[in-house]
């Protein structure tokens, strides 16, 4: 007959693997008869070095021939998400590059539009149009383009994020305010990009505008 063992306690479920996997059954048992193994040590904040020095000293006293080695549980747990960290860094880099290229395109389009409508702007100023109305006139077209892009990109982004989160057994939900914040940010960036050229065209002397070829 096998040796009788008593249950010392039952713990609530906790994650000991990646969040990609569901929580599996785990049995923690004493290893009194084993000559090898690992010890899990919890240290107080700011006393990690002292705890490591004490553990190393104790290890040498108990078994001088055993090489003392250690690792941190949070660092080992974080290694399970190396791919996510790489994807996050690449996403940030490509997002910055895309925003930069988009801003250059918007700036070039704003300069071209202002140059094409320079006489119209001059006539409107002669007829009493204010700087604010001219700025709105020149910026409205770009805002419409940004809104159309948001209407296309928002559902695609939600689908992509939802599919990515499905790889996790335990995951969060994508809130609507994330897309709202992204949309407002895109609009603000677009306005900042075209505002300089729009104000420059709106403040131009109408006489010079009408004389320009």
Q: Are 9 and 42 in contact (CB under 8 A)?
A: no
The pLDDT mean for the chain works out to 81
Radius of gyration of the chain (CA): 32
Whole-model pTM: value is 0.64
| Structure confidence at residue 155 as a pLDDT band (50, 70, 90) | very high
| Structure confidence at residue 68 as a pLDDT band (50, 70, 90) | confident
The mean pLDDT of 170-194, rounded to a whole number, is 86
- Residue 98 pLDDT exceeds 80: yes
The mean pLDDT of 171-178, rounded to a whole number, is 84
What percent of the chain is modeled with pLDDT above 70?
89
The mean pLDDT of 142-165, rounded to a whole number, is 88
Q: How far is CA 34 from CA 23, 37, 58, 59, in A?
A: 27, 7, 18, 16
User: How much is the pLDDT for 156?
Assistant: 92
More confident of the two residues 206 and 75: 75
Residue 70 to residue 82: CA distance in whole angstroms: 21
Structure tokens at 125: 């100023």
User: How much is the pLDDT for 94?
Assistant: 93
Residue 181 to residue 19: CA distance in whole angstroms: 27
More confident of the two residues 41 and 33: 41
User: How much is the pLDDT for 34?
Assistant: 65
What percent of the chain is modeled with pLDDT above 90?
8
| Structure confidence at residue 5 as a pLDDT band (50, 70, 90) | low
DSSP state letter for 17: S
| Structure confidence at residue 159 as a pLDDT band (50, 70, 90) | very high
DSSP characters for 38-49? -------TT-HH
């Amino acid at each position: 007959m096998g040796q009788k063992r008593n249950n010392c306690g039952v713990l609530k479920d906790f994650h000991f693997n990646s969040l990609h996997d569901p929580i599996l059954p785990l049995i923690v048992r004493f290893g009194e008869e084993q000559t090898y193994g690992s010890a899990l040590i919890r240290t107080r904040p700011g006393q990690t070095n002292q705890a490591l020095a004490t553990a190393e000293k104790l290890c040498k006293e108990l078994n001088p021939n055993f090489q003392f080695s250690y690792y941190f549980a949070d660092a080992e747990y974080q290694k399970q998400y190396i791919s996510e960290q790489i994807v996050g860094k690449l996403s940030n880099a490509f997002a910055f590059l895309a925003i930069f290229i988009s801003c250059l395109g918007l700036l070039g389009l704003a300069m071209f539009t202002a140059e094409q409508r320079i006489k119209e702007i001059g006539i409107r100023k002669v007829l009493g149009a204010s700087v604010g109305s001219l700025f709105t006139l020149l910026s409205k077209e770009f805002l419409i383009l940004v809104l159309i892009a948001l209407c296309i990109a928002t559902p695609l982004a939600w689908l992509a994020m939802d599919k990515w989160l499905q790889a996790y057994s335990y995951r969060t939900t994508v809130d609507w305010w994330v897309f709202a914040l992204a949309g407002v940010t895109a609009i603000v960036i677009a306005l900042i990009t075209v505002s300089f050229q729009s104000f420059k065209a709106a403040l131009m002397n109408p006489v010079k505008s009408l004389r320009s070829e």
